């Protein structure tokens, strides 16, 4: 085999590309988790929140894209679903605060179709393959189907309220963050040194769901109609 043989070059290059993809995936995931926690904890609308949110959006796109690419090569349905859900959630969360609330455009429809395709793939894999990961894939598929229902509702209505838009942004960003934290702190627990393991990893993994609940409650309380006070007559 000569050094210029395309097949030989491909064989030698493939491991390097996979290593590079893995490094970029890990680096982007680290930035995503750190910036995601800052964004979800920072006061909403402030500069810290906006900067951290932008960093989270960009890093999650990189992290999830490489996750899906590597999972497709290795035929790993769980990682395909996790990466696809993270991509979809973070993109639609960004879309919720970047688009006018009274207008539904092509990107919303494209996101709806993407959610349906993710759900269809997940349910198909869950039915065709048995194993411990089948339940995880089915859960991701159900989540994608639920998101598609919400997308369909917005498309049919042609508008979304301010509170609905904020809630949509919050729950999708937090779910994307949860995918990242659960994948790292739980999915890669075997790679974490024994001395660093413990219950705190579960706290870090599931904290985005708790923070999501807190923020949704706060948004709903603030948006609730204020009671009207009537002065009693003399």
What is the 3 state secondary structure string of 166-217? HHHHHHHHHHHHHHHHHHHHHCCHHHCCHHHCCHHHHHHHHHHHHHHHHHHH
CB burial of 98-107 (b: ≥16 within 10 Å; e: otherwise) equals eeebeebeee
1-48: per-residue pLDDT in tens? 445 455 444 445 567 888 888 888 889 999 999 999 999 998 877 889
pLDDT of residue 92: 92
176-221: per-residue pLDDT in tens? 999 999 988 888 777 777 777 888 889 999 999 999 999 888 887 8
Is the pLDDT reported for residue 164 higher than 80?
A: yes
pTM above 0.85, yes or no: no
By the 8 A CB rule, do 169 and 96 touch? yes
Average pLDDT for 220-232: 58
pLDDT of residue 86: 95
Phi/psi of residue 103, each to 5°?
Answer: -130, 130
Largest distance between two CA atoms of the chain = 104
Is the pLDDT reported for residue 50 higher than 60?
A: yes
CB burial of 209-222 (b: ≥16 within 10 Å; e: otherwise) equals bebbeebeeebeee
78-129: per-residue pLDDT in tens? 899 999 999 999 999 998 887 665 566 788 899 999 999 999 999 888 777 6
């Amino acid at each position: 085999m000569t050094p210029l043989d395309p097949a030989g070059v491909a064989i030698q290059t493939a491991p390097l590309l996979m290593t590079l993809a893995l490094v970029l995936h890990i680096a982007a995931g680290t930035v995503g988790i750190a910036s995601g926690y800052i964004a979800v904890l920072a006061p909403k609308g402030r500069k810290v929140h906006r900067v951290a949110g932008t960093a989270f959006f960009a890093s999650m796109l990189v992290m999830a894209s490489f996750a899906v690419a590597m999972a497709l090569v290795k035929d790993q349905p769980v990682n395909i679903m996790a990466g696809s859900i993270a991509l979809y959630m973070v993109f639609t969360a960004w879309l919720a605060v970047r688009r006018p609330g009274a207008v539904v455009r092509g990107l919303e429809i494209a996101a709806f179709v993407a959610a349906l395709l993710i759900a269809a793939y997940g349910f198909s894999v869950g039915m065709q393959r048995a194993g411990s990961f089948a339940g995880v894939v089915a859960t991701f598929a159900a989540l994608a189907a639920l998101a598609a229902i919400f997308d369909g509702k917005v498309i049919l209505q042609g508008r979304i309220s301010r509170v609905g838009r904020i809630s949509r942004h919050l729950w999708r960003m937090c779910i994307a963050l949860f995918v990242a934290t659960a994948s790292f702190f739980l999915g890669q627990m075997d790679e974490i040194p024994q001395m660093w393991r413990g219950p705190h990893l579960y706290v870090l993994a599931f904290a985005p769901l708790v923070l999501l609940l807190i923020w949704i409650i706060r948004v709903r309380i603030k948006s609730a109609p204020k009671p009207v006070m009537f002065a009693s007559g003399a």
